[in-house]
Amino acid sequence: MNLPTIIAVASGGALGALGRVFIFALSAKYLNDYLPWGTIIVNLIGSFIIGVAFAYFHYNPHIPTIIKTFIISGFLGALTTYSTFAIESFFLLEGGKMTEALSSILINLIGSIMLAAIGYLGYLHFAK
């Protein structure tokens, strides 16, 4: 990895992280707490943006890799990692790889929830 790539990821990540905090603050202020609206909003926005970005990059191959890195790995990586999960699942489904797509979806969804629970409950257990 070279210095321009590091700078692209770091600066995109800073903006994505700030965007996430901003969206979380707005959702906490204006929406009920029935659902985790901040997370839902950033995941949906990130998924939409990555879909648009991948399509745009496909039809505009002249876009420099550093710009793609800034947007995908930096900005969206910090805003949400769900966007990557969404586009990868879409590509698997679009490619007719139903078993792989469903496996990826189940592993991502169930696995992330299980690991969140293990981390949370494990910390509570060992912090006593």
Question: Residues 20-65: pLDDT tens digits?
Answer: 999 999 999 999 988 889 999 999 999 999 999 999 999 899 999 9
Confidence category of residue 76, pLDDT binned at 50, 70, 90: very high
Q: What pLDDT score does 67 carry?
A: 98
Whether the pLDDT of residue 127 is over 90: the answer is no
Q: What pLDDT score does 15 carry?
A: 98
Q: Is the dihedral angle over the CA atoms 95, 78, 22, 118 positive or is it negative?
A: positive
In the chain, where the domains are located: 3-80
Q: What pLDDT score does 82 carry?
A: 82
Confidence category of residue 2, pLDDT binned at 50, 70, 90: very high
| DSSP secondary structure of 67-125 | HHHIIIIIIIHHH-SHHHHHHHHHHHHHTT-HHHHHHHHHHHHHHHHHHHHHHHHHHHH
Q: What pLDDT score does 85 carry?
A: 86
Whether the pLDDT of residue 97 is over 90: the answer is yes
Q: What pLDDT score does 84 carry?
A: 79
Q: What is the pTM of this model?
A: 0.78
Dist. CA 72–CA 47, nearest whole Å? 11
Q: Is the dihedral angle over the CA atoms 20, 51, 35, 29 positive or is it negative?
A: positive
Whether the pLDDT of residue 81 is over 80: the answer is no
Residue type, 15: L
Phi and psi for 68 in degrees, rounded to 5? Answer: -60, -45
